């Protein structure tokens, strides 16, 4: 058997070769059309190079040709899983620029709607994250409970996903008479279901093996990359804008900011699971106390902002969503910049995935909860 | 009238074009085999997991617990285009993505079908005006069988679209080899 290399030597030679593979744009675990360029040695990731722009729709440029109330219909489609929060950011920014104060009723309803969409977003994330790791059951459980929230949205706003409910000056319409009853029913139901989620996935040994100690992100890295939202809070970066810079009705409710210091995939998972509980606490504090009053201010037919620059940020389901409007006094903005949380969160993926296996990259990108149209704008 | 026994005309709209297709495709020798083959084909449509934006979430909802389109035989989402029968274009297609979509379509085995889901895939939708980057209708890139309007369409609308595709498949005949479209006619660069 001369000339045949022993198997150990063959394996070690293959492991020393570096080769580059392409993941995406059509790949089931990238949750959209994101493309990774991976350099591998054996199975170990050397570096990850994300390529963006496969769903770049030019929303920032489009806003320069349309009026301020029309912008909310585009921000809906940026991060469609937290459409309420995106609209809230635009509405608050315009309201701050005009220096008007919306009625208390609007603030309460906006907060409840934002927390409901955060719940729906986290449920979908839980469903998809389990599926990424091979647990198909989570997909059906998560989407089953999400439908109840979408029912509530549909009854009040008329749409399941892209609601366009917040607008500059208030809300598009008043809440449905059954709104409070349905929300309370849902929360009563979901408090029973959430332990089921934990039984299914959180305590699972295989799940622990796949997530614990995987994709480490230190607090310093999280701050320097600008990783915000649940992903940043999993690394101990206290970045909850609802707590540090309260807007709408968040200064009237009592809730705690979820912080985990491990910085691995499991910590980011736990942050989101605990946030679902906190969201339910926030809604329960507000739902019975919605004050009477108008659901919107009477705004002028054409809104013109005074000349200047305005910035407003809110805590969306994925992190800090910011709107920067530069106005030259016309009915259209001169320039609008969206600070999308996903783009900053994605920038950390290279330092998180280096040295781990390629299968762990799926878990890491799943734990960042990326929404690609928001990332590419 | 009820040409297709299991899917009656009165339950659906747009029956005229279906009757037209029926007339064009009817054969004498193959009709019984056609019925058997089409029964099998139309009840096991496997879609490709291809979602670019918001419509993808509604497509997931259609596959999940409440709407559950595995009742109609589309349960198995395939990640590889080589195993898929239908590509549901769920979301906006921009100029950078158009060549990828074309390549995915070319990789699918015949007979293959395309469903354009949502306003973006039909015409560019909300991104039709003032944009420099969006393909204004996916039919500029690949041939489309069924259009589903909405922004995004409800899961029920997607189900209706799938049923219409099933009816379309049931009118087809073996004598044409199921290939009617010429994919080479479609040029990716036609986007404006």
| Structural domain includes residue A6 | no
| pLDDT category of residue B190 using cuts at 50, 70 and 90 | very low
Contacts with B121 from chain A: Cβ below 8 Å: none
Q: What is the mean pLDDT of chain B?
A: 80
Report the residue of chain B nearest A128, measured CA to CA.
B60
All residues at 6 or more sequence positions from A123 whose CB lies less than 8 Å from its CB, including other chains:
A142, A143, A145, A146, A149, A276
What pLDDT, on a 0 to 100 scale, did the predictor assign at position B74? Answer: 82
CATH of B45-161, one of 3.30.70.890, 1.10.3720.10, 3.90.120.10, 3.40.50.12280: 3.40.50.12280
The predicted structure's pLDDT at residue A77: 87
Taking residue B102's Cβ as centre, other Cβ atoms within 10 Å add up to: 17
For residue range B133-155, what is the model confidence (pLDDT) as tens digits? Answer: 888 888 888 888 889 998 889 89
A162 with B52: Cβ contact below 8 A: no
- Among A57, A66, A144, the residue with its CB nearest the CB of B92 is A57
User: Is B5 a residue whose pLDDT tops 80?
Assistant: no
Checking if the pLDDT of B42 tops 80, the result is yes
Average pLDDT of span B43-56: 86
Do B152 and A162 touch, CB atoms closer than 8 A? yes
DSSP 8-state assignment for residue A227 = -
Confidence of residue B12 (pLDDT cuts 50, 70, 90): confident
Token code pair at residue A97: 């620029």
Q: Chain B residues with CB inside 8 Å of A75's CB?
A: none
Within a domain: residue A260? yes
Whether residue A362 lies inside any domain: the answer is: no
Q: Is residue A86 part of a domain?
A: yes
Q: What is the structure's pLDDT at A14?
A: 66
For residue B66, which residues of chain A lie inside 8 Å, CB to CB?
Answer: 143-144, 147
The C-alpha atoms of residue A215 and residue A316 are separated, in whole angstroms, by 23
Residues of B in contact with A53 (CB under 8 A): 94, 96
Instruction: Kindly provide the b/e burial profile for residues A309-323, where b requires at least 16 CB atoms within 10 angstroms of the residue's own CB.
Output: ebebbbbbbbbbbbb
Give me the residue from A77, A127, A373 closest to B126, CB to CB. A77
Residue A311's pLDDT is: 92
- What integer pLDDT is reported at residue B188 of this predicted model? 46
Q: How far is CA A33 from CA A3, B50, B128, in A?
A: 46, 8, 20
* Residue, of A130 and B24, whose pLDDT is higher: A130
Kindly report the CATH number assigned to the domain that includes residue A264: 1.10.645.10
CB-nearest to A143 from B51, B65, B131 is B65
Q: Which domain holds residue A218?
A: 66-342
Residue B1 has what pLDDT? 38
Residue A269 lies in a domain: yes
Put simply, whether B47 touches A (Cβ < 8 Å) is: no
Query: Higher-confidence residue: B40 or A28?
Result: B40
Q: Is pLDDT above 70 for B187?
A: no
pLDDT along chain A (377 residues), means of 10: 70 75 79 86 87 87 88 88 90 90 90 91 90 86 90 89 87 88 91 89 87 89 91 89 88 89 90 91 89 85 87 90 90 90 90 88 88 86
The structure's pTM equals 0.88
**Residue at A19 is within a domain:** no
How confident is the model at residue A223, as a pLDDT? 92
Residue A31 zone, left/alpha/beta (φ > 0; ψ -120 to 50; rest): left
CB contact under 8 A, A33 and B52: yes
**Between A and B, how many CB-CB pairs are < 8 A?**
105
In a domain, A333, yes or no: yes
Q: Where are the domains of chain B?
A: 45-161
Show residues of chain B in contact with A55, CB under 8 Å. 52-53, 91-92, 94, 97
In a domain, A371, yes or no: no
Tokens 């799940």 belong to residue: A207
The Cα A120–Cα A317 span in angstroms is 9
The confidence score (pLDDT) of residue B32 equals 77
Question: 3-class DSSP state for residue A39?
Answer: strand
Interface of A with B (CB under 8 A): 25-28, 32-33, 53-58, 61-62, 65-66, 73-74, 77, 80-81, 124, 127-128, 139-141, 143-144, 146-147, 150, 160-162, 372-373
pLDDT at B30 over 80: no
Tell me, yes or no, if B91 comes closer than 8 A to chain A by beta carbon. yes
Give tens-digit pLDDT for B150-184: 888 989 999 899 888 888 888 777 766 665 555 45
By CA distance, what is A24's nearest residue in B?
B100
Q: CB-based contacts of A141: which residues, under 8 Å, 6+ apart?
A: A127, A193, A196, A197, A200, B65
Question: Which pLDDT score, from 0 to 100, does residue B52 have?
Answer: 85
Total number of domains in chain A: 1
Give pLDDT, residue B27.
60
CB atoms within 10 A of CB B46: 14
Query: Rounded to the nearest 5°, which phi and psi values hold at A255?
Result: -150, 165
DSSP state of A296: B
């Amino acid at each position: 058997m001369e000339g045949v290399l022993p198997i150990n030597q063959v394996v070690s030679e293959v492991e020393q070769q570096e080769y580059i593979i392409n993941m995406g744009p059509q790949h089931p675990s990238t949750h959209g059309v994101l493309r990774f360029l991976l350099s591998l040695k054996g199975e170990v990731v050397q570096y990850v190079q994300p390529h963006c722009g496969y769903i770049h729709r030019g929303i920032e440029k489009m806003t320069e040709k349309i009026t301020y109330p029309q912008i909310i219909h585009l921000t809906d489609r940026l991060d469609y899983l937290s459409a309420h929060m995106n609209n809230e950011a635009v509405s608050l920014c315009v309201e701050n620029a005009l220096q008007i104060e919306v009625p208390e009723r609007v603030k309460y309803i906006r907060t409840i709607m934002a927390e409901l969409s955060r719940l729906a977003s986290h449920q979908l994330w839980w469903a998809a994250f389990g599926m990424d790791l091979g647990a198909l059951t989570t997909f059906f459980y998560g989407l089953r409970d999400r439908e109840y929230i979408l029912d509530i949205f549909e009854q009040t706003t008329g749409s399941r996903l892209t609601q366009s409910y917040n607008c500059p000056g208030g809300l598009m319409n008043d809440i449905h008479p059954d709104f409070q009853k349905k929300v309370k029913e849902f929360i009563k139901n979901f408090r029973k279901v959430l332990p089921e989620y934990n039984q299914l996935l959180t305590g699972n040994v295989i799940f622990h093996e796949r997530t614990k100690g995987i994709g480490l992100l230190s607090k310093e890295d999280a701050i320097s990359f600008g990783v915000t939202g649940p992903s940043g809070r999993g690394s101990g970066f206290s970045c909850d804008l609802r707590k540090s810079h309260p807007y709408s009705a968040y200064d009237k409710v009592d809730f705690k900011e979820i912080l985990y210091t491990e910085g691995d995939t499991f910590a980011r998972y736990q942050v989101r699971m605990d946030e679902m509980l906190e969201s339910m606490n926030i809604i329960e504090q507000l739902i019975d106390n919605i004050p009477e009053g108008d659901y919107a201010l009477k705004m002028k037919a054409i809104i013109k902002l005074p000349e200047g620059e305005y910035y407003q940020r809110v805590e969306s389901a994925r992190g800090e969503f910011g709107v920067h409007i530069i106005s030259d006094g016309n009915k259209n903005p001169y320039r609008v910049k969206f600070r999308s949380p996903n783009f900053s969160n994605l920038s950390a993926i290279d330092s998180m995935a280096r040295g781990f296996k390629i299968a762990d990259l799926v878990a890491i990108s799943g734990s960042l909860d990326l929404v690609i149209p928001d990332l590419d704008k | 009238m009820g040409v297709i026994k299991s899917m009656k005309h009165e339950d659906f709209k747009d029956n005229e074009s279906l009757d037209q297709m029926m007339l064009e495709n009817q054969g004498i020798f193959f009709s019984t085999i056609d019925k058997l083959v089409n029964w099998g084909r139309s009840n096991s449509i496997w879609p490709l997991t291809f979602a670019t934006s918001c419509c993808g979430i509604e497509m997931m909802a259609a596959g999940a617990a409440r709407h559950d389109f595995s009742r109609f035989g589309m349960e198995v989402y395939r990640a590889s285009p080589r195993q898929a029968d239908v590509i549901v274009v769920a979301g906006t297609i921009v100029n950078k993505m158009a060549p990828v979509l074309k390549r995915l379509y070319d990789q699918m085995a015949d007979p293959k079908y395309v469903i354009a889901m949502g306003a973006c895939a039909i015409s560019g939708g909300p991104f039709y005006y003032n944009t420099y980057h969006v393909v204004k209708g996916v039919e500029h890139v690949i041939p489309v069988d069924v259009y589903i309007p909405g922004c995004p369409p409800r899961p029920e609308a997607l189900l209706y679209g799938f049923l219409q595709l099933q009816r379309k498949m049931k009118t087809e005949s073996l004598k044409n080899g199921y290939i009617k479209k010429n994919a080479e006619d479609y040029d990716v660069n036609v986007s404006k």
